[in-house]
A and B are shown apart, each in its own frame.
Chain A
């Protein structure tokens, strides 16, 4: 299979990341995240728990128990994938309600669809301060 690397991967990956967290952090728009996931193909691992498809993913994201959340992105690294996808690695901090900030890692794989992209893979982990034994 010849590679179909997307030359605008960096631009698309960074713009997508901004849009994602803006939508997430605003309670009025969080439910619209569903449009970014595919009904069957999207796969989310959230702190080790795996779910597939937009409906199950939104159940998880919609069921998180905080009133306020803010994501502050520190680094975004992107790479083009050989099937036209875009791999995005995000590191940052998030703040929920009045809790102290926590560091997080989130990875997305964006897949082209029609003239846009959807989230084919989404992996979220909080960064722990101590290595588990």
Chain B
């Protein structure tokens, strides 16, 4: 049975997954390897990274004290077991001295009611306007 069946609050589920993801990003990025599979793909600043090791290695290059602040959040059910999440936010780092606006898109796939993995992910800094 699909875990994201009609009637479930898609936005609430995806928001929890994103919150957990950002929390993990801020505390221990290595643990994020659990949410990617070998063919998961991340596109970040015009480069593609495939699989948990490559993806997390890229994230480890970011400042260690990065804090994600979500400004807007949208979610749509997609595919029988999937939720698309669309985030716009600010990445705050250097102890609050610097911040960068970003756009972040996820295709989450639900493996069970509690477990998800990320099949597609696009992250882009908003450096204009």
Contacts and interface: CB of A to CB of B under 8 A. Distances in A.
Interface of A: 3, 43, 45, 48, 74-75, 77, 79, 81-83, 85, 87, 89, 91, 93, 101-103, 105, 107, 109, 120-121, 123, 125, 127-128, 131-132
Contacts of A125: 72, 74, 86, 88
Interface stretch (B12-20, B25-33, B56-64, B118-126): B118-126
**Majority SS at the chain B contact face:** strand
Contacts of B128: 74, 91, 93, 103
Chain B interface bracket (under 10, 10 to 19, 20 to 34, 35 or more) = 20 to 34
Contacts of A107: 84, 86, 105
B72 A43 contact: no
Contacts of B41: 79
A121 B119 contact: no
B43 A77 contact: yes
